[in-house]
A and B are shown apart, each in its own frame.
Chain A
Amino acid sequence: MRSPGRFSAEAKGRHGRGGTWVLPLFLLSPALALLLGVVAYPICRAVWLSFHRFEILRPDLSQFVGLDHYRDLLTDPVLRIALANSGLWVAGVVCFQFLGGLIGALILNQRFPGRAAIRGLALIPWATPSVLVALMWTWMLDGNYGLVNDLLVKAKILSRFQPWLAQPWSALPGVILADVWQGVPFFAVMLLAALQAIPEDLFEAARIDGASPGRVLRHVTLPLLLPTILLTVMLRVIWTANYMDLIMIMTGGGPGYSSLTVPLYAYYTAYKRLDFGSGATIAIVQVLVLAAVMVFYLRQLRKNEVMVQ
């Protein structure tokens, strides 16, 4: 049997002679080809499209227009509405999903009869297809005979039915509610897994030192959950910013542009108006905004890590 030292020395030797990258490259090539095909090519294509007026059925008539699409977007009032809606949508969805998930994880981490069954059932919203979630909530929030209205009127919270998805002020919150319902289990499961990884000794030591449950949560649970929280929030922000199925089915971005988000605007521009150049430009704007948010977030993350250390 070779010792690790001998193996590594041999590897260094081969590296030094050149040609040692052939085998690793060969082994990586399927993954590399996949990445180039499904990630790099579409990104390059989108950038190319954003500089062209592209006729999908007559590519021969496509024209290079430089920065025209970007210039048009600077003065586009609909993009400003869509950006504001996207911000509200991501912030609303991620905050409430996180809070719901944290409460859910803390409850599911307790010992109570039927815990295993309830942990399984709690995953149902996450496992339900988006189209079904959208249709279900559309009818539950319906302004004429929706269940939500019925319950609120019977509980005397409302005097009459409200068209939740047909009013500019309530359409986006209505869709956020549906997505929060669907996404809470994701946070709950991730945080529950992290909670279970915290050694019981730490809780016990805190309790022996006389810490109240609130102080245990603040000084033991949350700091140890922080890496998982930061990672799941980052993933969720990216997914939510790109997610448009629910909005498209529940409100179509309406009434008017009240619930129109950036990806939905890009989709409508590309596929309904057949303006693929402008659609790609809107998508690139979304990528740039999201990248800026992520860079800021990762910097904060690094600062936190330094502070923890």
Chain B
Amino acid sequence: MPAPRRFRICCLVVAALAVLFVPGGFTPLHAQTPTVVHYWLWLDDPTAPMFDSLVKEFNASHPGIKVEYQLVPLSEYHDKVVTALAAGSGPDAGRFKDWWLGEFVKLNALEPLTPLIGKWPGRAEIIENLWETGKIMSSGPVFMLPHQFITFYLYYRKDWFAAAGLKPPTTFDDFLVAAKKLTDPTKNQYGFGLRGGAGGQDQWLAFFSAAGGRLVDGQGKVILNNEQGVKANQWYIDLFRTLKVAPPSAPTDAYAQCLGAFQAGTTAMFAHHVGSSVMVTQKPGADSVGVVPIPAADPKKPATMVTMAGNVVFAGSKQKEAAFTFISWLSEANATDKWSSSREGQLPSVKSVSKLPRYTNNPFFKVSLDSANFAIAWPPLPGVGYVSAQGWQANMQRALVGQISSKDMLDEIARALQR
């Protein structure tokens, strides 16, 4: 090969390599590479297109930031985040439950957001008392930006109640009368869909609180296993063990089984939140389903359970400001309304959105938002993550099948909460 030709080929190869491998080799100076923010979340329905369209909208309106997201099932979310953070490959920001706050803050894995919130114009729009769900102490920094929350309420079969001459239950007495009257095992029909399987701790906390039990006192000391707590828990266990108003499958029933039993006409009442309101209005149908707040032992002291699904920035992130820009954008009116009005809809944390007619005129949203006034959250203790993932389920099931007493169960949970 003649030398000049070889030289030309070499030049071409070098030029091609430069284009391929030199970062921004021939990129015009003004077209900067956007900051990539890795965001993880779970969705109850991973096929829902809502979140993908929100990310596209954000990326189009923020040319300096590119959000890349990853969906992880809720049941695996905690484990995956922990192991990814430990391996140094965790996300910059993520959707987060108040259940895990104590554990992650103890491990210094979350970025305090208070300084960034101070510069965020949307902060005044967040419903005031919801800031507490993102803190460990009232006077401490905010670690989780409020976003979507739920309160537990009670679905009941309006048609069955009318046929049996029963009024919608507001007290434990009403609830028990209705549950007993609507239980007929020969027809495979039961008064209440008790959830002893995965995720049942939220339903339990709603009834435990409504029965007068409390997880912690004003100073944050764990008191759930005191006399009042044991009594409240015994009342809940007895629904299955002695009164037998729950299906025999209750010890292991999870969300799918409880929803399925209510839709199939196996249960007359079922405690859940707005996330399932679209499903129950499809089957058994809007005319057959009513909704009331969780009944209370003492009508003057109503209580239920609230849990927040907010957003956090992880302490190891190198893109903290960009990550906060995205999660704060999610908590603004436009994105919140799109999320809350989708199939994934939960209660909006934004004042102006919660006042929109589409929520205030919707009976499920209305009961949920009203219940927020007396709702109790899981305390931000390091053991809540384990209790909600496995500890509660194992001990509740042992109590339901008679292997341990109400007191033993609460002692075990108290130990796990305080570890």
> Which A residues are within 8 Å of any B CB, using their own CB?
55-59, 142-145, 160-163, 165-168, 171, 251-258, 260, 268, 271-274
**Cα A181 to Cα B18 with chains together (Å):** 58
Nearest chain B residue, comparing its CB with the CB of A274: B82
Nearest chain B residue, comparing its CB with the CB of A253: B394
**Cα A256 to Cα B392 with chains together (Å):** 10
Q: Residues 55-85 of chain B: 1 if any A CB is under 8 Å from the residue's CB, otherwise 0?
A: 0000000000000000000000011001101
Q: Judging by beta carbons under 8 Å apart, are B196 and A255 in contact?
A: yes
Interface centre among A144, A161, A252 (most CB of B within 10 A): A144
26 contacts between A and B (CB under 8 A): A55-B107, A56-B83, A56-B86, A58-B108, A143-B247, A144-B247, A144-B260, A144-B264, A145-B264, A145-B266, A160-B188, A163-B250, A163-B252, A165-B252, A166-B252, A252-B252, A252-B393, A253-B394, A254-B397, A255-B397, A256-B404, A257-B398, A272-B78, A272-B389, A273-B391, A274-B385
> Which B residues are within 8 Å of any A CB, using their own CB?
78-79, 82-83, 85-86, 103-104, 107-109, 185-186, 188, 196-198, 247-253, 257, 260-261, 264, 266, 385-386, 389-391, 393-395, 397-398, 400-401, 403-404
Q: Judging by beta carbons under 8 Å apart, are B249 and A254 in contact?
A: no
Known: A161-B188, A251-B252. 5 other contacts (CB 8 A): A55-B107, A57-B104, A57-B109, A144-B266, A163-B247
Main secondary structure of the interface of B (DSSP, over half): helix
Q: Judging by beta carbons under 8 Å apart, are B108 and A166 in contact?
A: no
Pick from B83, B248, B398: contact of A143, CB under 8 Å: B248
Nearest chain B residue, comparing its CB with the CB of A260: B394
Nearest chain B residue, comparing its CB with the CB of A135: B256
Q: Judging by beta carbons under 8 Å apart, are A144 and B257 in contact?
A: yes
Across chains A and B, which 4 residue pairs bring their CB atoms closest together, nearest first?
A143-B249, A256-B398, A163-B249, A255-B397
Residues in B whose Cβ lies below 8 Å from that of A168: 401, 403
Nearest chain A residue, comparing its CB with the CB of B253: A166
Nearest-Cβ distance from residue A118 to partner chain B, whole angstroms = 34
Q: Judging by beta carbons under 8 Å apart, are B188 and A257 in contact?
A: no
Nearest chain B residue, comparing its CB with the CB of A271: B79
Nearest chain B residue, comparing its CB with the CB of A162: B248
Q: Judging by beta carbons under 8 Å apart, are A166 and B251 in contact?
A: yes
Nearest-Cβ distance from residue B249 to partner chain A, whole angstroms = 3
Pick from B250, B266, B386, B391: contact of A274, CB under 8 Å: B386
Nearest-Cβ distance from residue A104 to partner chain B, whole angstroms = 31
**Cα A79 to Cα B86 with chains together (Å):** 27
Main secondary structure of the interface of A (DSSP, over half): loop
Residues in B whose Cβ lies below 8 Å from that of A161: 188, 248
Nearest-Cβ distance from residue B338 to partner chain A, whole angstroms = 32
Residues in B whose Cβ lies below 8 Å from that of A144: 188, 247, 249, 257, 260-261, 264, 266
Q: Judging by beta carbons under 8 Å apart, are B103 and A274 in contact?
A: yes
Known interface pairs A56-B82, A144-B266. Does A163 touch B108 (Cβ–Cβ under 8 Å)? no
Q: Judging by beta carbons under 8 Å apart, are A252 and B198 in contact?
A: yes
Known interface pairs A163-B247, A167-B401, A254-B197. Does A272 touch B83 (Cβ–Cβ under 8 Å)? no
Residues in B whose Cβ lies below 8 Å from that of A165: 249, 252
Known interface pairs A56-B86, A57-B85, A255-B398. Does A163 touch B248 (Cβ–Cβ under 8 Å)? yes
Nearest chain A residue, comparing its CB with the CB of B85: A57
Interface centre among A160, A165, A268, A274 (most CB of B within 10 A): A274
**Cα A22 to Cα B256 with chains together (Å):** 61
Residues in B whose Cβ lies below 8 Å from that of A254: 197, 251-252, 393-394, 397
Pick from B85, B86, B390: contact of A272, CB under 8 Å: B390
**Cα A229 to Cα B217 with chains together (Å):** 62
Q: Judging by beta carbons under 8 Å apart, are A273 and B108 in contact?
A: no
Nearest-Cβ distance from residue B269 to partner chain A, whole angstroms = 15
Pick from A59, A145, A252, A273: contact of B197, CB under 8 Å: A252
Nearest chain B residue, comparing its CB with the CB of A270: B79
**Cα A90 to Cα B79 with chains together (Å):** 27
**Cα A150 to Cα B279 with chains together (Å):** 26
Pick from B252, B390, B398, B403: contact of A268, CB under 8 Å: B390
Q: Judging by beta carbons under 8 Å apart, are A166 and B249 in contact?
A: yes
Residues in A whose Cβ lies below 8 Å from that of B250: 163, 166
**Cα A144 to Cα B404 with chains together (Å):** 25
Known interface pairs A56-B82, A142-B257, A145-B264. Does A255 touch B251 (Cβ–Cβ under 8 Å)? yes
**Cα A268 to Cα B390 with chains together (Å):** 7
Residues in B whose Cβ lies below 8 Å from that of A142: 249, 257
**Cα A57 to Cα B382 with chains together (Å):** 14
**Cα A131 to Cα B248 with chains together (Å):** 25
**Cα A12 to Cα B381 with chains together (Å):** 70
Residues in A whose Cβ lies below 8 Å from that of B390: 252, 268, 272-273
Nearest-Cβ distance from residue A300 to partner chain B, whole angstroms = 37
Residues in B whose Cβ lies below 8 Å from that of A268: 390
Residues in B whose Cβ lies below 8 Å from that of A260: 394
Nearest-Cβ distance from residue A168 to partner chain B, whole angstroms = 5
Residues in B whose Cβ lies below 8 Å from that of A59: 86
Residues in A whose Cβ lies below 8 Å from that of B389: 272
Nearest-Cβ distance from residue A153 to partner chain B, whole angstroms = 10
**Cα A168 to Cα B196 with chains together (Å):** 14
Q: Judging by beta carbons under 8 Å apart, are B252 and A255 in contact?
A: yes
**Cα A144 to Cα B385 with chains together (Å):** 31
Nearest chain A residue, comparing its CB with the CB of B87: A56
Nearest chain A residue, comparing its CB with the CB of B104: A57
Residues in A whose Cβ lies below 8 Å from that of B253: 166
**Cα A272 to Cα B394 with chains together (Å):** 12
Residues in A whose Cβ lies below 8 Å from that of B394: 253-254, 256-257, 260
Q: Judging by beta carbons under 8 Å apart, are A255 and B401 in contact?
A: yes
Residues in A whose Cβ lies below 8 Å from that of B266: 144-145
**Cα A58 to Cα B109 with chains together (Å):** 9
Residues in B whose Cβ lies below 8 Å from that of A271: 79, 82-83
Interface centre among A55, A57, A160, A271 (most CB of B within 10 A): A57
Residues in B whose Cβ lies below 8 Å from that of A58: 107-108
Nearest chain B residue, comparing its CB with the CB of A248: B75
**Cα A107 to Cα B389 with chains together (Å):** 46
Q: Judging by beta carbons under 8 Å apart, are B401 and A256 in contact?
A: yes
Residues in B whose Cβ lies below 8 Å from that of A251: 252
Nearest chain B residue, comparing its CB with the CB of A259: B252
**Cα A254 to Cα B400 with chains together (Å):** 11
**Cα A253 to Cα B404 with chains together (Å):** 17
Residues in B whose Cβ lies below 8 Å from that of A258: 401
Nearest-Cβ distance from residue B140 to partner chain A, whole angstroms = 20
Nearest chain A residue, comparing its CB with the CB of B264: A145
Residues in A whose Cβ lies below 8 Å from that of B109: 57
**Cα A179 to Cα B251 with chains together (Å):** 22
**Cα A165 to Cα B79 with chains together (Å):** 25
